[in-house]
Every structure is written in C-alpha cells, then in structure tokens.
Chains A and B, each alone.
Chain A
Amino acid sequence: MATTVVAALPQEYSGGTLAREQVSLWRDGVRRLRRNKLALAAVIYLAILVVMSIVAFVWTPYKPNAIGACETYTTPSGAHPFGCDELGRDSLSRLMVGAQLSLAVGLGTALIVLFVGVTVGLVAGYFRGPVDSAISLVINIFYGIPTLLVALVLYTLLGPGLVNIMIAISATIWMDMARLVRGQTLSIREREFVEAARASGARSGKILFGHIFPNALGPIIVQATFVIPVAILTAAFLSFLGLGVAPPQADWGGMAAEGLQAIRYVPHIVLAPSIAISLTLLAFNFFGDGLRDAFDPRQKR
C-alpha cells in the first residue's frame, strides 16, 4: 500500500509531460522532510543528542556522580563548560548522562503507548458496538482526571525506577493514540480492500494487522513522535517534584530542581538543564510537525 499516492494519479498523466519519476511514499516523505528547515535543524540537534548520550556510556569529561570533582557551584569555564553543582559534580557530565535518561524515557514510553494505544484503538474501531462503547467510556474517564497527578500517585505507588516512570507516564497519555487509531480504523474498515480481504476469507486478526494497521501507519508514527516530548516533559515534571530516578543518578528535571535553591547566586546551575530540556522538547515538536507535513499531508494542523 506504500505506493498508492503516485499510483493513484489519473491514467492520462502517466504518459504526458506531467509524469514524474515514481517514488515511494517514504522516499517522497523524506524528500519533503529535508526541505523543511526547522525539521532538519531539529533532526541534527537530536542526532547530536543521541550521539552524546551514547558517548556518555563510555566517556564523560568527569565521573557524573563523583562528588567534589570541582569546587561547589563553580561558574562555567573551559574546564567545566556548564559549571558544577552544589556537591561539586561536573554539570556537563551530568547533562550527558541525563540525556540518556530523557531519551530512554521518551522512546520507551512511546513504545508502550504505541503498543497499548494501537491495540485498544484497533479493537474498539474494528469490533464497534458494546466493545467500542466500553473502551470509549474508559478513555473518557481517563480524560476527565488530572493525569499528571495520576502519574504522580502511580509512580509513588510503583516506586522509583526507569520502567516504572515509563509505565506511570504511559498510563496518562495512551488515550490520544487509542482515539486516533480508533478513528482511523473506523474509516479504513469501510474501504473496499478491507471488504475484499474479508470476502476472500481473511480472519479478523489478519485484516486488523495485515490491512488496517499498515494503512493507518502514517498518522500513528506522527502521533508516536509527539508522545516522546510529552513523556520527557512529564518525567522532568516528576523528578522536579523529587519523584525521579534514585538520587545519585543524574536527570534533567532533578538537576533543575536541585539548582533552584541557589538560583539567585548561580543561575547557570538551573539554566543548563532547563535549556537542555526545552531544546529537546522543541526539537521533537518541530520534528513531529515536519513528519506530519511530510507523511500525512491530508491532516490539518
């Protein structure tokens, strides 16, 4: 189904001067994405971030948790580009390790949301009737409660840990994905090729995952991209309130919170992680926007 965009052009164009090189939806999308300067800048930033966090596994300028690597609250200098925190730990090293955590939370949550949201959405949209009503009711209840605070309570309940953070956050943002997939499923299941598949004796599972899911993939990927910044933001929010990963481990929200008490004297200690979080969220949002414009041109902003 990936080639339908060009293949669907009316017959008379194919031989005339209007004909253009046949490209797949993906190649076409990538081409459009590359023309979007903001999205391109976002991709470059994210690539640097990924490389940095991979490097941080084997090398950081200083040991991220080493207390007393420098004077408490050292101001930024050549040796410590982002200064040091209240325990004399090098901020750059901690930012690098924090990047790992943020990316892990973002991607991990996106995967969980993808799995739960797609499954629930497909089932609700395909089987309709009472199944759909029940699922929609649950979705609406979730929308009605302050989800960030649910994440807070859930996380306190589950206890610290990376996976628990992801579960707590997923529980609060899976609904958008489920609703999107449900809507897509409802419209795709009425299309002829689904009817054809059903007529040729395909079972529900085959129709769902072999026919409906691939055709809804574009919007699903775009939606998943937007889950990442929300997850990173929520994780930062939680650790800002002191509910992040266990203490010596560096994470951006926690760094910003720890620095807050000294913000009057050494603003850089708050600004460095704050800027890191903001730039990362901005990059993911611009990338998601670019992705949507490139791969899902029908959808309006």
Chain B
Amino acid sequence: MLTRGTVVYIGQRVLLIGFTVLVVSFGVFYAVHSLPGNAFITERVHGQALQALLHQHGLDRPIVVQYWDFLRSAIHGDLGQSFVIQGEAITPLVIRELSVSMELGGAALLITVGLGMLFGVLAAIRQNTWVDYTLTTFAVIGYSVPSFVLASLFVLIFGLWLHDVTGGAFFYPLVWTGTYGTLAELSIPALALGLYTSGQVTRITRAAMLDVVQQDYIRTARAKGLKPVTVTLRHALRNAMVPVTSILGPLVVSIIAGSVVIETIFGIPGLGKEFARSITSHDYNVTVGVFTIFAALIGVANLGVDLLYTVIDPRIRY
C-alpha cells in the first residue's frame, strides 16, 4: 500500500541511488583517466601529434573539468562518444545493449531463484535423506564451478557434441540477427549464468525452511488438517522467502558481473561484452558509461528488493 511514509522512503532511496551513482561514476572516471596509456596508445602517435589528438578530445584538461563536462552531457542523456569506434555515440549503443543484457539477466535470475528455491524446499522437506544430501552437494558444486567453465562446457556440449541432435540450433558464438535473441539461443547462456548463483539460493532456502517448519504456526496449520502441500507452500515457504529475498540484491550484482564473462564467451552483444571490450581496448568513455549504468541498475534492484519485502512480509513497513 502506498502510504505517505512509503513515498517518502522511496524518495530518499532514489536520492541515495543518485548519490551513489554520482560517486561511482566519478570514481571510475578518475580511475580510467589516471591510467597509464590512453585510447590512442595503439595508434602509435607520439609527441605533438598525440598532444593534438588529446587536445581535440579535450583530454588535456584537468580531470575535474572533464568530469564536469561529462556530467553535464550525461544529465542530458549524452554519454559521449567512443574513442575506439570512431563516431559511435555511446548512449544509443548502451541502450541497445542494455535491452539484450536485461533479457539475458532476467532469464538467469528466474533460473537462479526458481531452481534454487525448488531444490532448497525439496532438500528441506526431505531433510537428512539422500535427496537432501544430493541437492546440497549439488549446490556446493554449483558455486564451485565458475560460470566461464560452465559456459565453455555448454559451448562444447550444445555447440559441438549435440550439434547434430539440435540441428545447429545452438551455434556459439551466437550469430546475432535481430535485437533480441531467440529463446532457445538465450536459454543456454542464461543457464550458465544462473546455475552458479542458484547454489546459494538452495542453501539459504533450505536453512530458512528448516527454521520455519519448527515454529508453532506451522504445527497449528498441520493440526488444522491442512494438506502438507498447502502448509509447505502457503505457510512455510512464504516466510522462508524473507531470507531469500535478502540475497536478491547480491544475486543481481553477481549476475551483472557474470554477464561480462558469459556474454563474451557466447558472443552476445550486451553491456557485459561491451564492458570487457572497453577495458581491454582502453575505450574509457564506454567503460565509464557502462559502469555508471551498472551502478544505477544495482541501486534500482536493491530498492526493488526492499519494496518486495513489504509484499512478502506485511509486518515490514517503511
């Protein structure tokens, strides 16, 4: 329910997100501009030619002045131009890539939470049986296998060994035709991205469920004669979801970080791949732009998670 307090709370949080994004963007801006070497290091220009090139791009001014300039354009939605891809404006580029990454990241988040909670609940209701041991071991394996290992493995399995079975439906790196990938194409990268974090969700769900089922209201619900499925899903799971919700924020962070690797391996033209490219090719304007968007995304995700609390547990109010 949108009470006055909630509106004020959201307002404060939005201000805080703005502040964080500002700090993060300046941090990255400062960091990349004080790096040794510059975007033109590969063009082998020295002396006067280099000075002229730096001057032309305004890179010989003090960093604070440059940042102020960046900020003024950024507020108007202009993140500047790429150094490396001549004349490429960053704003339309990152918006296009953001939509691709959101699609991949959203699918991965669904897989992480869905699989993780399913396994966690199953492990909890079959505590100390082989089901429990198998699923908890699976969870540890899940977060011990790095996402890039999983991705390479999937490229092998689906792109190579099962090539004839799938009729080449999963040919990696992806040949990108439209803005959005097909569901089939994205399912494997999303799985590679989501499985790693699902292990953590499994563990937390299991622990929370075991904690909740010992409480009195569960006994009452059982005594009332409700079906075990109803008790588990409607009474226990709902309360066990609070701790799970609390790690949603960190999950989003690790999915964003993971997307850098996954998109690079599968050849998905998203923000993550752009970020990796911009770092290795010294395309600093792009680095700053993408990083700023990442920071904003995480801030919004955290706010969303905090608001989700109030839905799951009505006792929590802001």
Contacts and interface: CB of A to CB of B under 8 A. Distances in A.
B314 interface: no
Given A149-B256, A270-B156, 14 more contacts: A144-B299, A149-B294, A152-B260, A153-B291, A156-B32, A233-B146, A237-B146, A257-B148, A263-B155, A267-B160, A271-B156, A274-B146, A278-B149, A282-B140
A256 B155 CA distance: 13
Contacts of B24: 145
Contacts, number: 114
Interface string B248-267: 01100110110011001100
Interface string B89-118: 000000000000000000000000000000
Interface in A1-58: 38
A237 B28 CA distance: 20
A253 B254 CA distance: 18
Interface string B124-151: 0000000000000100110111101100
A286 interface: yes
Closest 10 CB pairs of A and B: A148-B257, A282-B144, A281-B144, A274-B149, A278-B145, A270-B152, A285-B144, A157-B31, A153-B31, A146-B253
Interface stretch (A124-132, A199-207, A216-224, A240-248): A240-248
Contacts of B275: 149
Contact of A278 (B31, B34, B144): B144
A260 B156 CA distance: 10
A257 B276 CA distance: 13
A146 B34 contact: no
Nearest to B290: A149
Secondary structure class of chain B's binding surface, majority of residues: helix
Secondary structure class of chain A's binding surface, majority of residues: helix
Given A243-B279, A277-B149, A278-B144, A149 B291 contact: yes
Given A149-B291, A237-B148, A264-B160, A282 B279 contact: no
Given A241-B276, A241-B279, A301-B207, A148 B146 contact: no
A98 to B, nearest CB: 14
A242 B281 CA distance: 11
B198 interface: no
B278 to A, nearest CB: 11
A286 B279 contact: no
B36 A278 contact: no
Contact of B279 (A143, A156, A274, A281): A156
A225 B250 CA distance: 20
A196 to B, nearest CB: 34
Nearest to A241: B276
Nearest to A257: B148
Given A237-B148, A281-B145, A147 B253 contact: yes
Nearest to A282: B144
A292 to B, nearest CB: 12
A108 to B, nearest CB: 19
A61 interface: no
A161 interface: no
A236 interface: yes
Interface in A244-301: 253, 256-257, 260, 263-264, 267, 270-271, 274, 277-278, 281-282, 285-286, 289, 300-301
A240 B280 CA distance: 12
Interface residues of A, number: 42
B15 to A, nearest CB: 14
A229 interface: yes
A141 interface: yes
A152 B279 contact: yes
Nearest to B288: A153
A81 interface: no
Contacts of A149: 256-257, 260, 275, 291, 294
Interface string A152-178: 111011010000000000000000000
Given A148-B254, A153-B291, A240 B144 contact: no
B295 interface: yes
A286 B256 CA distance: 26
Interface string B278-314: 0110000001000100110011001000000000000
Contacts of A270: 152, 156
Nearest to A141: B20
Nearest to B147: A237
A4 B32 CA distance: 53
Contacts of A147: 253, 257
Given A241-B264, A260-B152, A146 B140 contact: no
A264 B159 CA distance: 8
Contacts of B140: 282, 285-286, 289
A125 to B, nearest CB: 21
Nearest to B143: A285
A50 to B, nearest CB: 18
Given A141-B20, A149-B294, A260 B265 contact: yes
Contacts of A267: 156, 160
Given A229-B144, A237-B261, A282-B140, A256 B295 contact: no
